[in-house]
């Protein structure tokens, strides 16, 4: 079978369109109220996992369990997307853990996205409970985790 450049271009265009849709799916500005909540949950969980500048398996496992168990996420049938988004956050934060400037900027951007649910105060209590759960999942509520929790809650109030 011969290589067909037109088929190749169509395949690339289809892939690019699919990738663009996936990226747009994670654009908080376009989120509905419920999707803003999902984004805030996932981003909060990711920040708490890396707050002490290490990724612990117990915290990751508990975060994934929570994502799968939270009704608001399952009602939207977004468990898979939420887990992928969680992974993206962890992958983006992990390499910059030792660079204070990049760390502060990235954490600030994520907290800004989380703050988008500020207009829905009934969700803030839920986020607070999730933060405590993840921070305690490894049996140690580290000072860095307390500080991260305070930053997130401060942005929500």
The tens digit of pLDDT for each residue in 65-116 reads 999 998 888 888 889 999 999 999 999 999 999 999 999 999 999 999 999 9
Rounded to whole angstroms, how far apart are CA atoms 60 and 134? 8
pTM: 0.76
CATH of 32-156, picked from 2.30.30, 1.10.3470, 3.90.550, 1.10.3680, is 1.10.3680
User: How would you classify residue 53: left for phi > 0, otherwise alpha for psi between -120 and 50, otherwise beta?
Assistant: left
Minimum mean pLDDT range among 13-17, 82-86, 130-134:
13-17
User: In angstroms, what CA-CA distances link 55 with 22, 24, 49, 111?
Assistant: 26, 27, 6, 19
Res 31 pLDDT > 50: yes
Best CA proximity match to 121, nearest among 86, 153, 82, 76: 153
Res 12 pLDDT > 50: yes
pLDDT for position 76: 83
Res 3 pLDDT > 80: no
| 140 vs 31: which has the higher pLDDT | 140
Rounded to whole angstroms, how far apart are CA atoms 53 and 103? 10
Res 7 pLDDT > 70: no
Arithmetic mean of pLDDT over the chain: 84
Are 146 and 73 in contact by the 8 Å Cβ rule? The answer is no
């Amino acid at each position: 079978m011969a290589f067909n450049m037109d088929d190749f271009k169509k395949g690339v265009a289809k892939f690019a369109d699919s990738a663009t849709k996936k990226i747009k799916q994670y654009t908080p500005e376009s989120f509905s109220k419920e999707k803003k909540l999902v984004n805030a949950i996932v981003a909060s969980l990711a920040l708490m996992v890396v707050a002490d500048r290490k990724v612990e398996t117990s915290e990751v496992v508990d975060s994934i369990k929570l994502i799968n168990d939270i009704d608001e996420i399952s009602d939207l049938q977004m468990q898979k997307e939420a887990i992928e988004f969680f992974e993206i956050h962890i992958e983006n934060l992990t390499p910059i853990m030792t660079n204070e400037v990049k760390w502060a900027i990235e954490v600030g951007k994520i907290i800004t996205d989380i703050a988008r649910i500020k207009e829905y105060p009934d969700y803030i209590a839920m986020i607070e409970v999730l933060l405590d759960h993840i921070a305690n999942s490894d049996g140690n509520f580290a000072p860095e985790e307390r500080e991260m929790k305070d930053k997130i809650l401060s942005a929500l109030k």
